[in-house]
Structure 1
Amino acid sequence: MKGFEKLTRQVAQFCKGVPLALKVLGSSLYVSDEYSHKRNSMIENLIGRMNSLHSLKEDFDSGILGVLRKSLDSGFAGHKELFIDIACFFVGENKDMITIVGDDLYAKYGIATLVNRGLLTVSRETGELKMHQMLQEVGRRGSHEITGLALNMLKVKDQMGWEELETSSVAKMNNLKFLKLNLVKFTGSYENFPKVRFLSWHGCPLQSMPSGLLMSSLVALDMRYGDMEIFEAPTVLHSLKILNLKGCEKLKRLSSLHRFPKLETLMLQDCIQLCHLCKSIRYLTRLSNLYLTECIDIWMASSDKGDQSLLYLPKSLIVLDLSCCDLGYNNDDHVEFHAKSLFNLFLSHNPFEYLPGKIDLKMLRVLYLLSCPKLKSLPCMPSTLVELYVDGCTSLERITFESTRFSLEKFSYEGCSNLSEVQGLFKLVPIANIDNTHLVQHMQWIKEYEEHEVELVGDEITKGIYRKIQVLSRNFSQMHFIRAHT
């Protein structure tokens, strides 16, 4: 841009040719286009900001780290603490986990600002937080007190072996907000354990939770892949929002869920022995995400006891994952759910012939039914449905909608070899079933071949299927032939 040539050279020289430093520094000097009419004052302002940066050239032995550090101090002061927390502790975590460092609005706005300024990236697929190693180093050097501690025994086993640690070794760390442990074994009392907001203890060897670990300060508790058999809170945890027990293969009972009134996310994937999930789950009015993938024993317990309905789920859910749960012929007795807002439903890898009848679909937004080989039809899909995934449903024949004004935007159906109708999109009809009155005069000859079997070709629905000659119909007002190999 004309008028900025000198400033551009200064910035490039200052960043010493490092693209990351250039990106971060440039974003901190950014001025919105809406003020472009104030060109002269913009140049003076930016030069002044550059001069202030030059004064800190020797703050660190590494000049580049100094550039990044000063850009953070000068351009992102309002989000510096959030940046440091992410750099030190939350890289690799889901962005939703950041709600534990403050209120939701502050966290969302702060993440958006850091992304826009080139300090942070968020994976679109997984929501994982990512940060350049150099930026992480800046964040770690910018922290003046220990608020988080991470100990991975896999990384220190060569120096320490698998030695057990005394709980007293962390008991006096009163400023800790975050504690991340992996395969750590403690001995001693947990009564004086630090009152952290986020406790992550992967591979925890405890069979039940000591009361000292369930502190009132907890906002997120991540106990993945541990030996937990019974999980029960002795008292109400008013702050807990996230509970992750994924992969606790020995877990049998999860009780007293009413003691987590603010719980938003409950992750129980691969808890293959879980046979008791507290029925008070229905009263968790803030629960929005429930993952029960491969929790097969819950349904078996229901059948043995003859319960009319095992799970009454809260109306607040927006994500419900019941994949790989062996929901079969009697699935109506398994779960009851009536959503109050749009929700996503995951039912992949189940052997049912029809969808669970007590899950109300009228607010359904996204439906995953991957590899449900016995599923034959999907009748009366709601008009709210925008994404449908039925890949590998080899018995599926027909999909219809409750209204002709449906809003389906994404539809995946690879391997659905028997699918012959999707209402509003297409319908395959055997020639023998078409009345002569529906065929225009020059197409009457096709009736002579109604008993001939051919290979259908086209997209993934019809390709490679051998049937009698079919007609691809759209509302029967216009018809298109499927080409056939004789």
Structure 2
Amino acid sequence: MEVLRRHSSKHKLPEDDLMELSRRVTTYAQGLPLALKILSSFLFGMKKHEWKSYLDKLKGTPNPDINKVLRISYDELDNKVKNMFMDIACFFKGKDKDYVMEILEGCGFFPACGIRTLLDKSFITISNNKLQMHDLIQHMGMEVVRQNSPNEPGKWSRLWSHEDVSHVVKKNTGTEEVEGIFLDLSNLQEIHFTSEGFTRINKLRLLKVYKSHISKDSKCTFKKEECKVYFSHNLKFHSNDLRYLYWYGYSLKSLPDNFNPERLLEFNMPYSHIKQLWKGIKVLEKLKFMELSHSQCLVEIPDLSRASNLERLVLEGCIHLCAIHPSLGVLNKLIFLSLRDCINLRHFPNSIELKSLQIFILSGCSKLEKFPEIRGYMEHLSELFLDGIGIEELPSSIEYAIGLVVLDLTNCKELRSLPNSICNLESLKTLLLSDCSKLESLPQNFGKLKQLRKLYADRTPIRGLPTSFVDLRNLEVLSFHGCKEPNLCFPASALEKFKFP
């Protein structure tokens, strides 16, 4: 208010108008002192209807004086930092810092020092580990992109508006200047992708085709994507520089023949119609993240032996996926693996040696009848979800998962017994056995699970606990709801400590 009042010389505004103007200016400036100063001196030469109109105009077109000052600071940055700034301004504002840094690192931009430079110069801030940027600074960055060719977006380095992307694809005006395309399908009726549209876009680093508004009905979404996006049958990617690929609802059965993932860091195609990714072995040394969740046509995963740095693989809801290539079993840097609800999965590698794996999810894979042998210690595996799978037993090598904290075997209808070796899992705290309708007993040395805190065995035919059960000093929850004779043959000491339903 005081800053604004000092500039109110030509037209004395009533207090209510001054208050309204101060609110609108403050909202626009979002605390940026430079913006407050320039706007205050500029607006208070106007009458009320004039500054209202000007502020409405600023929503789409930033004040040139503000841009001019910000641009001076931008021009002082080196090229790699400029590229990082532009990627954040156009694509990654509000995204997780660590995730964005992985992508920028994959682009060769040295984000550890670059992000620090942007922070020091107040181009960005970090809140809750997310990269934030003042709207005025973001607008300045976008304006720098546009200035390269104001009337032809095909010559811009980055495309983020669905109108501009549609123009470039429809008119085939893309050039080698284009490094990044983010296309939101939510506001489009339809779009046609042709090989010609990508012919000259041969230096593309970042490609994201997504929906900001996604229906909760996955089946409906699957059908909508098929009729919204159209491809020419000879579609080709002409860039070998692709680092990031996210394509929601990709409707072709396979990737273009010339698809080259050699530099790809993230491959993400949820709800795709892909049946087969590619034939043979692809060079995938840079790949860290791979997801094809709810790709209902996918039947197999190719050889991933060259994906030696893969950290995250998510294939949830791929209902026709029936086989996993044996190469998955030796991905030593894999941290997260989920095949939840792959209801037709039958063939999994016979053995696994996943030294870095922390979370392994096979929930709902009801036709998977065998859990793989574990080769070597998997000390980092802390959570193993096998609920609803079709196994009759666990391999004795389960004891090599020495860091296991949570083991979920809920609803394993064919499970008949647990191996004695499971009692060597010294870190196990939660064991879930409910609805294992053929499991009648627990191993005799069950008491060796010294860290066990929760045991759920609801609706199982278990009628007694082994005598070693009394050694479970840390047990806090013991549940046998729905068991016909839950107290039969339980040790007296256990009955004193716990109450059974």
TM-score calculated relative to the size of structure 1: 0.60
Aligned pairs (5 A) from 1:391-430: 392-393=434-435, 395=437, 398=442, 406-408=450-452, 411=454, 413=456, 415=458, 424-425=471-472
Stretch of structure 1 that moved more, 284-293 or 92-101: 92-101
For this pair of structures, how many residues does the alignment match? 390
TM-superposition CA deviations, 1:214-269 (whole Å, max 9, x none): 24332111122222222236642332222222222222232232232322222222
Q: Which residue of 2 is the match for residue 455 of structure 1? A: none
Q: Determine if contact 1:225/1:249 at 8 Å carries over to the other structure.
A: yes
Distance in 2, matches of 1:321 and 1:228, equals: 22
Distance in 2, matches of 1:483 and 1:412, equals: 12
Q: Which residue of 1 is the match for residue 188 of structure 2? A: 156
Higher strand proportion: 1
Q: Which residue of 2 is the match for residue 192 of structure 1? A: 238
Structure 2 residue identity aligned to 1:164: H
Q: Does 2:383 align with 1:383?
A: no
Structure 2 residue identity aligned to 1:380: C
Distance in 1, matches of 2:114 and 2:442, equals: 44
Q: Which residue of 2 is the match for residue 363 of structure 1? A: 403
CA distance 1:465–1:142, shift in 2 (3 Å): same
Q: Determine if contact 2:459/2:482 at 8 Å carries over to the other structure.
A: no
Structure 2 residue identity aligned to 1:383: E
Q: Does 2:287 align with 1:224?
A: no
CA distance 1:150–1:480, shift in 2 (3 Å): closer
CA distance 1:85–1:120, shift in 2 (3 Å): farther
Q: Which residue of 2 is the match for residue 242 of structure 1? A: 289
Q: Does 2:394 align with 1:348?
A: no
Aligned pairs (5 A) from 1:16-35: 21=30
Give the gaps of 5 or more residues in structure 2. 4-21, 43-54, 146-157, 159-178, 211-224
TM-superposition CA deviations, 1:6-55 (whole Å, max 9, x none): 99xxxxx8997769946xx7xxxxxxxxxxxxxxxxxxxxxxxx6x6755
Q: CA deviation at 1:136?
A: 7.0
1:284 is matched with which residue: 326, 331, 336? 331
- Percent of aligned pairs sharing the same letter: 23
Q: CA deviation at 1:155?
A: 2.4
Q: Which residue of 2 is the match for residue 321 of structure 1? A: 361
TM-superposition CA deviations, 1:297-347 (whole Å, max 9, x none): 442x57xxxxxx63544333222222212266x525x45454443113221
Q: CA deviation at 1:353?
A: 4.8
TM-score calculated relative to the size of structure 2: 0.59
Q: CA deviation at 1:483?
A: 9.1
Structure 2 residue identity aligned to 1:369: L
Find the residue that maps to 2:283 and give its secondary structure.
Answer: coil
Q: CA deviation at 1:466?
A: 6.9
Structure 1 residue identity aligned to 2:231: F
Distance in 1, matches of 2:38 and 2:433, equals: 58
Q: Determine if contact 2:245/2:264 at 8 Å carries over to the other structure.
A: yes
Q: Which residue of 1 is the match for residue 91 of structure 2? A: 89
Q: Determine if contact 1:345/1:366 at 8 Å carries over to the other structure.
A: yes
Distance in 2, matches of 1:203 and 1:229, equals: 13
Distance in 1, matches of 2:93 and 2:461, equals: 45
Aligned-residue CA RMSD (Å): 5.3
Q: Determine if contact 2:193/2:235 at 8 Å carries over to the other structure.
A: no
CA distance 1:361–1:468, shift in 2 (3 Å): closer
Q: CA deviation at 1:156?
A: 0.8
Q: Determine if contact 1:416/1:461 at 8 Å carries over to the other structure.
A: no
TM-superposition CA deviations, 1:278-300 (whole Å, max 9, x none): 2233443323322222335442x
Structure 2 residue identity aligned to 1:212: N
Structure 2 residue identity aligned to 1:89: F
Q: Which residue of 2 is the match for residue 208 of structure 1? A: 254
CA distance 1:318–1:86, shift in 2 (3 Å): farther
TM-superposition CA deviations, 1:429-455 (whole Å, max 9, x none): xxxxxxxxxxxxxxxxxxxxxxxxxxx
Q: Determine if contact 2:193/2:230 at 8 Å carries over to the other structure.
A: yes
Q: CA deviation at 1:179?
A: 0.9
Distance in 2, matches of 1:108 and 1:349, equals: 47
Distance in 2, matches of 1:228 and 1:121, equals: 36
Distance in 1, matches of 2:470 and 2:324, equals: 39
Structure 1 residue identity aligned to 2:104: V
CA distance 1:295–1:470, shift in 2 (3 Å): closer
Distance in 1, matches of 2:361 and 2:113, equals: 25
Distance in 1, matches of 2:396 and 2:96, equals: 33
Q: CA deviation at 1:205?
A: 2.4
Q: Determine if contact 1:381/1:402 at 8 Å carries over to the other structure.
A: no
Aligned pairs (5 A) from 1:62-81: none
Q: Determine if contact 1:472/1:481 at 8 Å carries over to the other structure.
A: no
